[in-house]
Amino acid sequence: MNKNLYLNFLETTRQVADQFPMKHIDPVCKLMLEEIALGVARNHLLKVSDAIELKSIASRSTLHRKLSILIDAGLISLTSSSLDKRTKLLTITATGVEYFSALSKAIEKLKLPIAQVQMA
């Protein structure tokens, strides 16, 4: 294992991603997926209209296309708002939850060698 903790983290996340339907998931898709997951974790689901306004990530048309890729990959899904059926909310699918759980477990495994390095 490399002593550079960040490089170990990057390698670990790539290994996890290889276990999921991530073939067409580029860095922009990953950023979108992370934003959607954060919304779910905060109990504040992103609306599609909010997601395509994340201009710091990419243009509206690119973001719209990336949402379609994430839906096709089975990582996110659309649900209708209970307040307004026209409003579509983004949520993580079971596969998406498994992906983030696998990442979390992999990072937990990294923490053990980190603690051993710090103690030495």
Count of other CB atoms within 10 angstroms of residue 3: 8
Tens of pLDDT along 33-88? Answer: 999 999 999 999 999 999 999 989 999 999 999 999 999 999 999 998 888 888 99
Amino acid at 80: S
* DSSP type of residue 46: P
Phi-psi region of 37 (alpha: psi -120 to 50; beta: other; left: phi over 0): alpha
Q: Does domain 5-115 have CATH number 3.50.50.60?
A: no
Spans of all domains in the chain:
5-115
pLDDT at 118: 52
CB 29 within 8 A of CB 65: no
Mean pLDDT within 94-118 = 80
Helix (H, G, I), strand (E, B) or coil at 72: helix
In the chain, what is the straight-line distance between the N-terminal and C-terminal CA atoms, in Å?
16
pTM for the full predicted model:
0.84
The Cα 56–Cα 69 span in angstroms is 19
